[in-house]
Amino acid sequence: MFYQLSQIPQRTQKNRQEGLTMVMDKGLSIQEVHQFISVAGPYIDIVKLGFGTAMVTPNLKDKLKVYADYDIPVYFGGTLFEAF
């Protein structure tokens, strides 16, 4: 972080056991995943593929591999669990 804010505690390093940050992938392309991780990777602990996007994402395996290459676990959102 570029500025120290006194009211925000220091961020622990990955692999965190508490204070996990989950982000939602709402249909990012593989290139967008690379770009997103290049900016926010140190803060991302887990990714949720939201709104059933896993059902319509082309090259889903390739996309999951990108997250895996950065040691970021991924899980499928509630829409898929509700449907199946």
Question: Which ranges of 1-84 does DSSP label H, i.e. alpha helix?
Answer: 30-40, 53-56, 60-69, 78-83
Torsional class of 2: left (φ above 0), alpha (ψ -120 to 50), beta (otherwise): alpha
Contact 5, 34 (CB under 8 A): no
Which pTM value belongs to this model?
A: 0.81
CA distance 64 to 52: 15
pLDDT at 2: 67
pLDDT of residue 38: 97
Question: Domain map of the chain by residue range?
Answer: 22-83
> What is the average pLDDT across 58-75?
96
Give tens-digit pLDDT for 16-48: 888 889 999 999 999 999 999 999 999 999 999
